[in-house]
Structure 1
Amino acid sequence: MMKNIMYFLGSLLVAVAAAFFAYKWLGGFENPGYVLIGIGYWSLETSLIVFAVSLIMGFFVFYIFFRFLGWLLRLPGQIKNRGKSIKFNRSQEALIAGLVDSAEGNWEKAEKVLIKHASHSGAPLIHYLTAARAAQSRGAYDKRDEYLKKAADQAPGSDVAIGLTQAELHLSEKQFEQALQTLTRLQSIDPTHASVLKLLHQAYQQAGDWEGIRKLIPSLNNNKVLMEAEIKLLETEAFSKLLKQAAERGSADEIDSLWSEIPDYIRNMKGVSAIYFAAMIDAGAGAKVEGGLSRALSTTWDQTLVVLFGNVQSIDVARQLETAEQWLPMHPRDAVFLTVLGKLSMKCGDNQKATTYLTKSLSIEPTVPAYQLFGDLLSAQGDKDRASECYKQGLELASSEIVSRIDSIS
């Protein structure tokens, strides 16, 4: 308003100044002249000074008139824009208030203020997505889905942003199937989107879908979603879990097929190879991995692999014992290894050798398996009293180990 007043006063000042200078200039002549205007039967005669001043003032009046007319024509639009501006400012204030209420845990209040002003906002997507989070936080899942749908209607080009929010909300409620469905759709839209891949990784991991993670690893690696060390750790975990799952199904062919697909740097890890060997032994295919176990122990000594070697149902137990005894000079005081030698000797029917190995194992470090095997050996030989004593000592040792574990936990 003040701007219009300044325009009016400025124009008036210019018009008055122009009229004054015209009056002074023309008045300086002895004969300032006259003006005669004729229209039909009508004529108008006046001095040039009066005509010039009237012309200047008339121009001013017409100028003001047309400016006023233009202002009147623009007035409805200005009123409309003014209303939009007010609503927009209110929506911005509502957005800030809604975000603050959400941060403070006032979910219902945040939801109401966000939805009320969403349609007038310059960023309705943020209103609806924040309202959806607030609705879920108070357990209103129907409202959550309604707001997500409205967000999609208001911002049709924001499928990824809406989908990511939807997936995050499903994951927070452990709705893995719905989250994976949404994320799979987003991956088809943008296969290299880092946030989509990261959420897919989380969804697969929380759902225990290690086959899904296995297939996702190349994308995580190629798009630098995780660091190289994290990728290798995840890959190791995925193949370990898949081996355990295959072991639970008990299919030696499935276990062996999966093993052939595992990269060498993972297969060479003791923990992973132990899972494979144990799975094959449990599936009744221990003879197939006997050579692999032998080579692994010849390269790197590991008590877990030693125990697994002793559990192999070999087609030639004598050769199995002979192979194991080749390691004895390098590990003469390994109690676990000596127990395994005693077990293999029993399988071969050499009770004297079994007694020697088991007695030496128990003298170095008493263990429950050694007591169990020695008790079985004595029982088979008819020495019931010594066998009972071995079983008793084994039970006492097992009990003390359990008590020690309980104490360490508490």
Structure 2
Amino acid sequence: MKKLFSKKILYVLVLLLPAIVLGGLAYVWLESFDTPGYVLLGIGHWSLETTLSVFIFALIITFFLLYFSLRTLDYLIRLPGQLKARSRLVKFNRSQDALISGLVDSAEGNWERAETALIKHVSHSGAPLLHYLTAAKAAQSRGALDKRDEYLKKASDHAPDSAIAIGLTQAELHLSGNEFDQALEALGKLHAIEPSHASVLKLLHQTYKTMGDWEAIRKLLPSLHSHKVLLETEIRQLETEAFTRLLKQSAATGHIDTLQQHWAEVPNYIRKLSGISAIYFAAMINGGAGADIEDELALALSIDWDTTLLVLFGSVPSNDALKQLAMAERWLSVHENDAVLLAVLGKLSAKCADNTKARTYLQQSLAIEPTVSAYQLLGDLLTAEGEQAEASQCYKKGLELASNEAVSRIIPAV
């Protein structure tokens, strides 16, 4: 303030000096005449008489004083507003410094100091929303959840038009704090406001995935795809994972109707992936609905030969065992040296009470590739025919093979 007043005094003196010089020059010039003239002013009974040179000098000085008085009066009138504006500018600059300091402290993990700096000068900031949202993050990071919610509410009160930004921050904080229900509640409101908002959709996807809600992700997939929230490859990976998880969940619960519904919704490119269809077919067989998928399973094998599906086909409790065996025997012309197929044929032949054919198929399978299951099937068949010694040999070889397989799995781990 003193500095400002000193400048005004200097300004007056700078203007006064030329006025005095100008008045003095006019006075000297007029006095140089033999008859410099005079001026007479009369007001009522009063009169004033002086020389012209004195009058002009006085007029110049009077004009200057009047001009200065008016400027001073204008300055005094505007002074309170200028002081307020200057005070606001100082406070605004402080709030900007506090915002920068708070952001730096947050980045460095000084949560309490960041929160204090951000809130102290928020009332004078040009961006109070940024102060409150950053303070909310700092409060959560130090475990002050009540403060976090308070700052989020104040942010909403100060910037009601920024509901999306505030809601996203709130959802992110709830999600990072494993408050999934609260996160979904916040995201649900945002999704109702902006159904196509990419950040809202992405956070919904992350929340559902963390919660393991694959049914919700399945329903969200079209929006994620149409609004390009994720890359095409990411969408396909997520879609594959979602349907795989849903099939496994349905299989675990044994709900056949739900399982069939999910399978009907699985895209063809996912059905062709190794292991996906096996989940569905195995669940249907375990759920007692194997006969319903026999033809579909046979068609899948005809299109894409798969050992796992072949084993499942042999486990189907068919309503027509002879038809089932005939179908498997047709594949033998293409896969004549397939040990798994021969074992399945042995199993199906035994189911059709054709023990001779069953024995032949199982022996051919063991000759190509010995397996525990083939030894077990042949042992059971020999036991049924009363050949105990041969059956015991099969069981023994099966146990030895199983033991060797177990040891081979353990040794690499050691």
TM-score, scaled relative to structure 1? 0.91
Where do residues 269-280 of structure 1 align in structure 2 (5 Å cutoff)?
269-280=273-284
Where do residues 162-177 of structure 1 align in structure 2 (5 Å cutoff)?
162-177=166-181
Select which of 318, 321, 328 maps to 1:324.
328
Matching residue of 2:91? 87
Structure 1 pair 333/157, CA: closer, same or farther in 2 (3 Å)? same
Where do residues 249-288 of structure 1 align in structure 2 (5 Å cutoff)?
249-288=253-292
Matching residue of 2:215? 211
CA deviations 1:268-295 (Å, max 9, x no partner) are 4343322222232222222222111111
Structure 1 pair 292/92, CA: closer, same or farther in 2 (3 Å)? same
Matching residue of 2:361? 357
1:22 Cα deviation after fit:
4.0
Question: Secondary structure at 1:329's aligned position in 2?
Answer: coil
Unaligned runs of 5+ in 1: none
2:130 is aligned with 1:126? yes
Question: Secondary structure at 1:46's aligned position in 2?
Answer: strand
Matching residue of 1:73? 77
Matching residue of 1:36? 40
1:25 Cα deviation after fit:
5.7
2:107 is aligned with 1:106? no
Question: Secondary structure at 1:325's aligned position in 2?
Answer: helix
1:314 Cα deviation after fit:
0.8
1:77 Cα deviation after fit:
2.5
Where do residues 183-262 of structure 1 align in structure 2 (5 Å cutoff)?
183-262=187-266
Task: Work out the CA distance in 2 between the residues paired with 1:140 and 1:289.
Answer: 56
CA deviations 1:24-66 (Å, max 9, x no partner) are 6655655443322222221222223222222222222122222
Select which of 321, 342, 347 maps to 2:346.
342
1:167 Cα deviation after fit:
1.1
2:70 is aligned with 1:63? no
Task: Work out the CA distance in 2 between the residues paired with 1:63 and 1:397.
Answer: 116
TM-score, scaled relative to structure 2? 0.90
1:301 Cα deviation after fit:
0.8
Structure 1 pair 391/20, CA: closer, same or farther in 2 (3 Å)? farther
Task: Work out the CA distance in 2 between the residues paired with 1:316 and 1:284.
Answer: 16
Structure 1 pair 319/5, CA: closer, same or farther in 2 (3 Å)? farther
For 1:83, the aligned partner's letter is S
Structure 1 pair 297/124, CA: closer, same or farther in 2 (3 Å)? same
CA deviations 1:72-117 (Å, max 9, x no partner) are 2222223222222222222222222222222222222222222222
Task: Work out the CA distance in 2 between the residues paired with 1:350 and 1:84.
Answer: 99
Structure 1 pair 174/380, CA: closer, same or farther in 2 (3 Å)? farther
Matching residue of 1:315? 319
For 2:291, the aligned partner's letter is A
1:246 Cα deviation after fit:
2.2
Task: Work out the CA distance in 2 between the residues paired with 1:180 and 1:409.
Answer: 43
Structure 1 pair 349/58, CA: closer, same or farther in 2 (3 Å)? same
Which sits farther off after the overlay, 23-32 or 178-187?
A: 23-32
Which sits farther off after the overlay, 316-325 or 152-161?
A: 152-161
CA deviations 1:136-173 (Å, max 9, x no partner) are 22222222212211221222222111111111111112
Select which of 9, 12, 17 maps to 1:8.
12
Question: Secondary structure at 1:37's aligned position in 2?
Answer: strand
Aligned residues with identical type, % of pairs: 63
Select which of 285, 288, 295 maps to 1:291.
295
Structure 1 pair 33/284, CA: closer, same or farther in 2 (3 Å)? farther
Structure 1 pair 187/404, CA: closer, same or farther in 2 (3 Å)? farther
